[in-house]
């Protein structure tokens, strides 16, 4: 299952670790990166392509005051603001998708984050085709017989690249990585018999 990715940017170690542990407790959510300042955030965002960015708006204000670049659109778009409870009505806060106040109770914080996850463009793929396709079964049979990718490719008039892609898909569907594991799978499911591999 693919998880919804968060980046947390917060200077205070205490608050950052708190937020991270809350997010990681939510099913489907995981924090892919933590930062304590805004200096490297662009590269981190490019690297992880997060679904949400949780950041303290004070950092935002500090960088603005020091004349650094303005927070780009993608942060606003994906941003969740961490706000101390004494500033509730600033304009800037309202540009964020959601605000977490430092005096929010547990339930409120969880609800806010979960609502965002559910509303976001992120949806589980509706139907996952997880049975092996006919082509994949054909390839599995040959793998089980001990053929190399090259031999399989020649045998089926495919490119080696295609064979590798099929093999990756087989492993993703079954969760089985080794060749002998695949042999056991094929035998258990009567895709091959013991005579085939002797």
Partner 1 sequence: MKMSEVIFHNYQLLPVITRFGILLGFGEKTVAAVCADYNINLEFFLEITNSFIDEDYIPQKEFLSFPVSLVVDYLQKTHKYYLEDKFPEIEVMINEMVYCAGGDTEKRVLVKNFFDEYKTEFLNHINREEQKVQPYVLAIEDAFMKKKLPEDLLRQINEYSINDFASEHDNIEEKLNDLKYIIIKYLPPCSHPSLYNKILLELFLLEKDLNMHASLEDKVMIPKVALMEKILIANFQK
Q: Binding to partner 1 by residue 130, rule CB under 8 A?
A: no
State the DSSP string of 11-35: S-HHHHHHHHHHHHHSTTEEEEEEE
CA distances from 96 to 21, 50, 166, 181 (A): 22, 16, 43, 49
* Cα–Cα dist 100/83, whole Å: 6
Q: Binding to partner 1 by residue 32, rule CB under 8 A?
A: no
The residue (of 160 and 174) whose beta carbon lies closer to partner 1 is 174
Name which position in 189, 192, 195, 197 contacts partner 1 (CB under 8 A): 189
The residue (of 52 and 185) whose beta carbon lies closer to partner 1 is 185
- Are the CB atoms for 29 and 23 separated by under 8 Å? yes
* Cα–Cα dist 75/32, whole Å: 16
Q: Binding to partner 1 by residue 93, rule CB under 8 A?
A: no
| Site pattern 144..183 for partner 1 (x: CB under 8 A) | ------------------------------xxxxx-xx--
Instruction: Give me the least distance between CB of 151 and partner 1, in Å please.
Output: 22
The residue (of 72 and 181) whose beta carbon lies closer to partner 1 is 181
- Are the CB atoms for 163 and 139 separated by under 8 Å? yes
- Are the CB atoms for 60 and 71 separated by under 8 Å? yes
Instruction: Give me the least distance between CB of 187 and partner 1, in Å please.
Output: 5
Binding site for partner 1 (CB under 8 A): 174-178, 180-181, 184-185, 187-189
């Amino acid at each position: 299952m693919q998880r919804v990715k968060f980046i947390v940017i917060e200077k205070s170690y205490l608050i950052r670790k708190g937020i991270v542990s809350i997010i990681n407790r939510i099913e489907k959510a995981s924090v892919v990166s933590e930062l304590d300042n805004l200096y490297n955030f662009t590269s981190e965002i490019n690297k992880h392509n997060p679904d949400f960015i949780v950041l303290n708006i004070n950092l935002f204000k500090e960088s603005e005051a020091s004349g650094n670049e303005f927070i780009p659109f993608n942060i606003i778009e994906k941003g969740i603001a961490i706000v101390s409870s004494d500033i509730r009505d600033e304009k800037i806060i309202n540009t964020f998708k959601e605000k977490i106040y430092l005096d929010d109770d547990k339930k409120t914080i969880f609800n806010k984050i979960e609502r965002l996850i559910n509303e976001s463009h992120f949806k589980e793929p509706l139907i996952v085709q997880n049975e092996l396709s006919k082509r994949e079964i054909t390839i599995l049979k040959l793998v089980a017989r001990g053929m190399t990718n090259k031999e399989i490719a020649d045998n089926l008039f495919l490119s080696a690249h295609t064979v590798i892609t099929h093999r990756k898909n087989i492993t993703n569907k079954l969760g089985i990585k080794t060749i002998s594991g695949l042999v056991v799978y094929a035998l258990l499911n009567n895709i091959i018999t013991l005579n085939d591999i002797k």
